[in-house]
Amino acid sequence: MSAAAEATKIEETFSPDVFDRKEFRGETTLSVHATRIHDVALFCRDTLGFDMLLDVCSVDHAGRHPRFEVVYELYSIAKKIHLRLKSSLPEDEPEIDSVTDVWPTANWHEREVWDMMGIKFRNHPDLRRILMWEGYPYHPLRKEFPLEGIPSDVPDIAFTEVAPLAGGPFVTIPTEGNTEVREPRARHAGELPTTATFIAEP
C-alpha cells in the first residue's frame, strides 16, 4: 500500500474538505479545511493505520491570504509510509482543533507552534508556552519578528534586549552580491590561509 493510495481514500471520504493534492519526489501532501482536520486525523489513525505523528509545524506566508499553515507529518509503522496534511488559517484568528487526543505526541508540538507562531489549538489540555516564558508578548517565528529580537520587559519575570548581530560571525550582510559574497566566512577570507601544509610523521 502506498501513501498515494491512502490519500485517495481520504479524498473520497472527505471531499470537498480535502481540496488539494501534491505529489513531489515520492511524497504525498493533502490540503484539508481546518474545520475537518480532527476528523481527518481520526480517520488516518483508525482506518488507515497512521499510528505515529512525526511532527506538527507551521508556516508563515506573510502577505498572502490565508497567512498561516499548519503541517502534520504522519507515518504508518506497519505500512512504512509517510503522509503529509496541511491546513490554512487566517491572519486575524489563527486557530485549529488540537489532535492531542488522536496522537499524544502532538502535545509539545502544538505548544511550540503556539509559542513561536501564535496559532491556538482548541481543546489542547495544556496550551502553555514551551520555549518563551508566559507573558512574553511576541511570537518569534512570525515573519515580522526581527532577527535581532525585540526588547521586552515583563516585570518580575524576564526581560530581553536587542541582540548585537551586526557584523557577527554568523550573520550575512546586505549587499548586491550573490550568496558566496554574503557568506559570513567570506568577510574573513583574508585572515585564513589559502593553502595547507601537511607534514608526515617519521
Q: What DSSP string describes 24-59?
A: ETTEEEEEE-GGGHHHHHHHHHHTT---EEEEEEEE
For residue 74, what pLDDT band results from cuts at 50, 70 and 90? very high
User: Region 170-181: what's the mean pLDDT?
Assistant: 63
**Domain boundaries along the sequence of the chain:** 3-134, 146-185
Q: What is the pLDDT of residue 172?
A: 59
The domain made up of 3-134 has a fold known as Beta Polymerase; domain 2 (3.30.460)
pLDDT band at 23 (very low <50, low <70, confident <90, very high): very high
Q: Is the dihedral of CA 189, 192, 197, 199 positive or negative?
A: negative
Cite the DSSP H helix spans in the chain. 3-14, 37-46, 106-117, 179-182
Tell me: pLDDT of 192 over 50.
no
Burial class (CB in 10 A: 0-12, 13-18, 19+), 179: exposed
Distance CA 59, CA 113 (A): 9
